[in-house]
Structure formats: C-alpha cells, structure tokens
Amino acid sequence: MTPSLIFLGVEPLIAVGTDLLYAFITKIFGSFFHKRNGNVNFNIAFRLFLGSLPAIIFGTFLLEVINREVLNKYVTLILALVLIISSIISFYKGKSRNKKLNNNVFVLIGFLVGLIIQLTSVGAGVIVGFVLLNFTNLHPKEVVGTTIFYGVLIALLGCLSHATLGNVDYLLALYLIVGTIPGVYLGTCLNSKVPKEILRKIIIISILIIGIVMVVRVFGSI
C-alpha cells in the first residue's frame, strides 16, 4: 500500500503513517479469521512484539531528528530493495528449513522489524514472513496468521507514533479501509483452501513483483 500511495503522489512519510493506520484496521479482521482457524502462533507473535516496543520509541526519535526531505527521498527505494531481496532469498531457502531459531532470537528480530516498520511501514508481512517460512516449522497458513496478528500490534504502535508527528491522512485511510474489508475476508477463505506449496510460491512471487514495480517507478521518476 505504501508504494502505491507514493506512486499516486502522496508524500512518502504521510504514506507510511496512513498505511500503518490502514494496516491496523484491516489486520484486525484478518487476525480474527486466522485465529478462528487456528493459524496464529501467539508465542512467536508476542516475542516479536516485545522486541518491537523499544524499536518504535527509537524510530520515533529518528523521525523527529532526521531531515524530512532526506527520509522522503529514500523511503521508496529502501522499500523496493527489502521486497526484492526477501523474495529472491525465499526462492532458494524456502524449501530447506533445517536451521531453526531459538525463541529468544525472535525478540531481536522484533526490534529490527519494528524499526523498519516505523520508518517504512514494511516488515511484518515481508521480513517476519520470510523468517517464519525459512527458520521455523510453521505451516504457511500459520506464517500468514502469525504475521497478521503481530502486524496488528505493531501497526497500532506505529500509527500512534506517526499520528503524533502529523503523518496520517485519516480520510484517505477511511477510503482504503472501506474498499479492503471484503478483500480481507475473501483472501482468508482462499488461504484455507490453497495447497501449502502453491501458497508459498504465491506469497514469494507477489512480493518480488511488487518490489520490481517499485524500482521501475523510482528510476522512472528520476
């Protein structure tokens, strides 16, 4: 959503703040349906969130002290690189999940992801999804459900932080939310019926395509 808003002319930092509000509202519905289907690993989700708390505070400080023009200039390119790198690595490592992470490592990952989310709004679905797909025994359906639940928690904190900085367009967020609610329900229903390997490939290819489109738009604007 953030790159789409930026492409449509929304200031990058406003796009990030608005996307976090949009993500919080829509992920509530997705989280509810996934929880009902038993697709949420609460232990991992809360460990990630525990690490994200100090990251949000630190990220807010950075947003206040770094020049706004500098942040706006690089946020789109950073988003694109995160998407492309994550998807490419997933193609090669998604099937070999021999190396498992210690539960405490998720706290550190939560800190890193929380900081990235605060600055770009991307991370809960891309970075955490990649880690859970490759370094845990979670089924792809649980990966989706867990990242969405974690996304609810982190999006709320990030949104509140950006709201205090004036980086949220509430009317725009309302338009996005109204159009997305039926899509969230439909996507959750499809998730419960799509085979495991097909779902994994759909996730990775979608991330890669979005990243490539973003890079093309960045260099096209230059």
Domain ranges of the chain: 1-221
SS3 content of the chain, % helix, strand, coil (to 5): 80, 0, 20
pLDDT digits (tens, 9 = 90+) for 77-115: 777 887 787 778 777 655 555 567 777 899 999 999 998
**Residue 176 has what pLDDT?**
92
pLDDT digits (tens, 9 = 90+) for 138-165: 888 898 899 999 999 999 999 999 999 9
**Residue 92 has what pLDDT?**
65
Is pTM beyond 0.75? Reply is: yes
Q: Is 5 exposed, middle or buried (0-12, 13-18, 19+ CB in 10 A)?
A: buried
What is the mean predicted confidence (pLDDT) over 48-69? Answer: 90
Query: 3-state class of 194 per DSSP?
Result: coil
Sign of the torsion formed by the C-alpha atoms of 104, 62, 13 and 167: positive
